[in-house]
Amino acid sequence: MKIWRIANVLWVLFFVVTAAIIWFREADGSGAINTTANRSVSLIVLGVFAILIVVIQYVWYRFAKNSSNR
């Protein structure tokens, strides 16, 4: 379970750093100027991806926990 916690800390760091990069950059990869609306949409997409990862990890955790109890 120690590896599981380390992996979760790495995921959190990844999402925090990515959110900071999205928020503080002035132009995106295509060269378009980032407005508050563009940043918000980008953060929403990142949030949906984060929720997907959390759901997958929860299912995986429950499966691993049930397997170790047998």
Q: Which pLDDT score is estimated for 66?
A: 79
Q: Which pLDDT score is estimated for 62?
A: 86
For residues 39 and 22, give the distance between their C-alpha atoms in angstroms, rounded to a whole number: 6
Number of domain units in the chain: 1
Range of the domain at 18: 2-68
pTM score of the predicted model: 0.78
Task: Assign 28 to helix, strand or coil.
Answer: coil
Residues of the chain with pLDDT under 50: none
Q: Which pLDDT score is estimated for 3?
A: 83
DSSP state of 31: S
Q: Which pLDDT score is estimated for 12?
A: 92
Q: Which pLDDT score is estimated for 18?
A: 94
Task: Assign 70 to helix, strand or coil.
Answer: coil
How far from chain centre, in Å, is Cα 49?
A: 6
- For residues 38 and 28, the answer to whether their CB atoms sit within 8 Å is yes
